[in-house]
Amino acid sequence: MGGMWGFKPKDDRNLAKKIFKLTIDPVLSRYYNPKTKNYKTGDQDFLSDYVYSLIAHRSITHDSYRCIFHRYSTAWPTQRRGNCFVGSPWFCDENLSNFYKCLVECRQEQHLDWSFC
């Protein structure tokens, strides 16, 4: 499961430069984007290995599946329908029902009844 992230460089120019240098580093780029068909999580692995620790304490992270591992995460604000989610790499189909249920611990307090979030 992936996610979306963003950053406001104007809020911290030094941090912005640090993250930018990491994203254009040719060694890291080759490691996390080896151009193999089987490696589809390079971007997420890179963010986890290098960026997350820099921004975790000052970011909003919506995570309905791994919230227990990400201390600073919060529940996704809307209920999931089908396989539709922000950043989905495929066509969205609200009628599909074969998706993972989100953890009870990761649901919004007022929506513990949501199985998919």
| Per-residue pLDDT reduced to its tens digit, 17-58 | 999 999 999 999 889 887 776 677 788 889 889 998 898 888
pLDDT, residue 25, reads 95
Which pLDDT score, from 0 to 100, does residue 2 have? 47
Local confidence band at 66 (pLDDT 50, 70, 90 cut-offs) = confident
Bridge partners of residue 74, in order along the sequence:
62
**Cβ within 8 Å of residue 8, ≥6 positions away:** none
How many beta carbons lie within 10 A of that of residue 20, not counting itself?
A: 12
pTM: 0.64
Angle at 57 between CA 51 and CA 60, to 5 degrees: 85
